[in-house]
Every structure is written in C-alpha cells, then in structure tokens.
Amino acid sequence: MRFELNEELALLQQTTRDFANTELKTVARRMDETEVFELDVFKRMAELGLTGLTIPERFGGSGFYDQGMANQAACVTLEEVNRVCASTGVTLSVHMSLFSSLLTKWGNEEQHQRVLPKVASGEWLGAYCLSEAGSGTDAGSLVCEARKDGNEYVLNGSKLWITSAPYADVFIVFARTDKAQKTRGISAFIVEGSRKGITIGKKEKKMGIRGSATSEVLFEDCRIPASNLIGEENLGFKIALDTLDGGRNGIAAQAVGIGRACLEDATEYAKTREQFGQPIANFQAVQWMLADMTMKLDAARLLMYRAAWLRDNGKPCTTESAMAKLFASEAANKAAKDAVQIFGGNGYSKEYNVERYFRDARITEIYEGTSQVQRIVIARNLLGD
C-alpha cells in the first residue's frame, strides 16, 4: 500500500499547480465577474497535455491512460485547477472525465481515429448532453429522440444545463431510440457542433462557476450519420451511468480543490488578522474550524484517489465514486462556510476570493447526481437492490 503520488503523477501535479498559480490565477476572478469563459485558458491546458489525460497515447493522449493512471491523473490535475478556478475545473472535467473517457471506452476504432486526436489536442472541446427540462435525476425518462432514417439518425428535442455548450465543438448526446422502453431505449451519439439543426439556446445566469457557460442545446431535424452511434443502439443509459462513475470522481476532485482553496486562504488570513491584540489563529474556536477542514479534506482526497485507482484498474467503483463525490462535496461546502466565517465581514465581500469559493462549492452537491442520489446509490449497493 502506498500513500504517495508516483513520479509521473507528482510531476503532473507540479506542472498543473504552476500553471494554476500563475496563468489561471489572473483570469479566475475576471471570468467569474464577466461570466465569460476565456478559451485561451483551454488552449493553454491543451499545450500542457492536460486535455488528453484520459485518452490513449496513439490518439494524442499524454500517456497516463496507457499506464493505467488516467483517472488518477485526472484527479491530480482537477484538484489543482479547481484550487484556483472552478469554472475552468468543470470545463476540463466534462471534457476529459465525461466526453473523452466515454468515447475512449465505448467508441469504435473509426470514431477514435476521427475524434480523439482533435479532443486530445484541444482543437475540439467536448460537452455531454444528458439532462433535459423534464429529466434530471430521473435521466432515464429523457424524451429527446433519435429516429433512424436509412444511414442516418434524425435528432429532435432539447437538452438543458449543458456545460460549455456555447463554445463546445463536439457533443455526446443521449437520445431515445425506442419509445416502448425506458432506460433500455436510449442511445449515445457523437454530434459535431457544425451539424445543421443544432442551436445553442438560453445561457443560464448562475450562482457559481459563472465563468463556465451552461446552456440549453436544441435539435431540430438534426441529421447525423449512423456511424456516429456510440456502442450499440439502446445501450446509451448503461454507457451514461458507467461514465458517471468516473465523472463523479472528477467532481470529487473539484470539491477537494475548492475546499483546499478555502483552507489555505482561511489559514493565511487567520495568521495575519489580529483582534484583541493577537492573530485570530490563536483562538481555539478558529483553530477547530481549520482542524476540521483539514481532516475532512484529507479524508475526501483519500476517497477520491481510491475510487480513481479502482477505475484505473478495471474494478467496480460505483459505491466508491458516489462516496467520494458525496463526502468531498459536503466537506467543500462546510469548508467554504467556515472560511467565510473566519474572514468575518471580509468573507462577505467580493474583495476576497472566499466569497467566490462559497458560491462555487454549492454546485458540487448538485450536478452529476445530487447528494440524495449518491446516498441512494450507496444504499442500493449495500442492500443489493
């Protein structure tokens, strides 16, 4: 049993940390204020090889996949990116933990050759379209349809809450191919953003991760070649759930990153802010908040690494990913609440970053399955339902 990163992962961590602390730091606050994602950031991550962490080397990936470390590498990187900018964090998380991982695992050779090199190099940014207005937690009830017409499928319907939609180049879309079935009547498709019949709808005005665009995506007689079907027809729901096992751990990494930002900023502040003639760090009430943050974030990180290791080694990890996401997201939200408390009035001001961390942390308990859903998943696997 080893409780330290190996050489390759440690180097990746340092590279990402350096990038985050220099280049990302300068744009994180601006993106939150303007609500505009700066695509240069994505291109820069691509130059550093971060966009290809979950893709095989022969399709332009960075080699971690081939060494059985794709999910561990994703976690290491996502923690560092989210430590500084959660908007960039979710963009990268969807691109690699949802889009690229899914296509790598479930796509065929022709699809790999056609799409993965563009995604690995950052030429294309990927998005993941599962949720709809009427189907969030109950994703299996989605109604967007894909009708087979000769050598093509025709998509009609709309998707909601799609991360990166306005600037994504390629989408994985889940659509109904059999109306008589529920979860067994859904298929997954590659849909290039350039196709006719696809439009990007309303952009949500959000509480947090405001630098990442979240929009509706509409399909109106959007024709795609049958060769864009991923896996087999009606296998889509199984593919979606399997992908979420990895994706949820990406959100655990996001939560750990945001939580660490809260801990580090609050620790620094507590050491310098003086009341009653001494630093507030001397007060036990403040120390206990910092101690609890440290402990919970450490536990969250260990849960996250274990789930990543299991997935990298082809072992079941549904419960472990759910536990990692649930625990990490709750730890991050508590850390954000306490960080604001330690900053006092300054914590409530936009002058300081903890206010942004507080807003950004909230989403980690909602997307890729709410906290209620994670508890359902854990209990179901425990009780054998």
Verify binding: residue 370, ligand FAD, rule CB under 6 A.
yes
Instruction: For ligand FAD, give the closer residue by CB, 244 or 304.
Output: 244
Rounded to 5 degrees, what are φ and ψ at 374? -60, -40
Residues 85-124 that bind ligand FAD (CB under 6 A): 94
Distance (Å, whole) CA 114 – CA 375: 38
Q: Does 128 bind ligand FAD (CB under 6 A)?
A: yes
Q: 321 to 360, contacts with ligand FAD by CB under 6 A? A: none
- What CA–CA distance (Å, rounded) separates 346 from 355? 9
Backbone angles phi, psi at 129, to 5 degrees: -110, 95
- How many Å from the N-terminal Cα to the C-terminal Cα in the chain? 32
Where in 193-212 is the site for ligand FAD (CB under 6 A)? 206, 209
Written as six digits, the tokens of 178 are 């059999």
Least Cβ distance, residue 125 to ligand FAD (angstroms): 12
Of 13, 131, 141, 381, the one binding ligand FAD by CB under 6 A:
131
Whichever of 122 and 369 has its CB closer to ligand FAD, that residue is 369
Whether 57 sits among the annotated catalytic residues: the reply is: no
Min separation Cβ 139 and ligand FAD, Å: 7
User: Residues in contact with ligand FAD, total (CB under 6 A)?
Assistant: 21
Strands 126-129, 170-176: pairing is parallel
The answer to whether 310 contacts ligand FAD (rule: CB under 6 A) is no
Whole-number minimum distance, CB 357 to ligand FAD, in Å? 16
Task: Write the binding mask 275 to 304 for ligand FAD: x where contact by CB under 6 A, - elsewhere.
Answer: ------------------------------
Figure out which of the listed residues 5, 143, 200, 366 binds ligand FAD, where binding follows CB under 6 A.
366
364 burial level (CB within 10 Å; 0-12, 13-18, 19+)? buried
- Residue 1, Cβ neighbours under 10 Å: how many? 2
Closest CB to ligand FAD among residues 48, 366? 366
CB of 230 to ligand FAD, least distance (A): 15
Nearer to ligand FAD, 34 or 227 (CB): 34
Min CB(250)–ligand FAD separation in Å:
12
Find the binder of ligand FAD among 51, 72, 88, 163 (CB under 6 A): 163
Query: Which of 30, 26, 58, 56 minimizes the C-alpha distance to 44?
Result: 26
Please identify, among the stretches 15-23, 181-189, 220-228, 361-369, the one whose residues bind ligand FAD according to the rule CB under 6 A.
Answer: 361-369
Q: Which stretch binds ligand FAD (CB under 6 A): 30-38, 49-57, 310-318, 370-378?
A: 370-378
Q: Which is nearer to ligand FAD, 206 or 356 (CB)?
A: 206
Check binding of 214 to ligand FAD (CB under 6 A): yes
Residue where the block lists tokens 């079941």:
316
Give the residue at shortest CB distance from ligand FAD. Answer: 136
Min dist CB 189 to ligand FAD, Å, is 14
Question: What is the rounded distance in angstroms from the CA atom of residue 234 to the CA atom of residue 182?
Answer: 10
User: Shortest Cβ distance from residue 376 to ligand FAD (Å)?
Assistant: 6
Catalytic-labelled residue, pool 80, 320, 355, 368: 368
The least distance separating ligand FAD from the CB of residue 133, rounded to whole angstroms, comes to 8
| Interaction site with ligand FAD (CB under 6 A) | 94, 128-131, 136-137, 161-163, 206, 209, 214, 363, 366-370, 372-373
Catalytic residues, which ones?
368
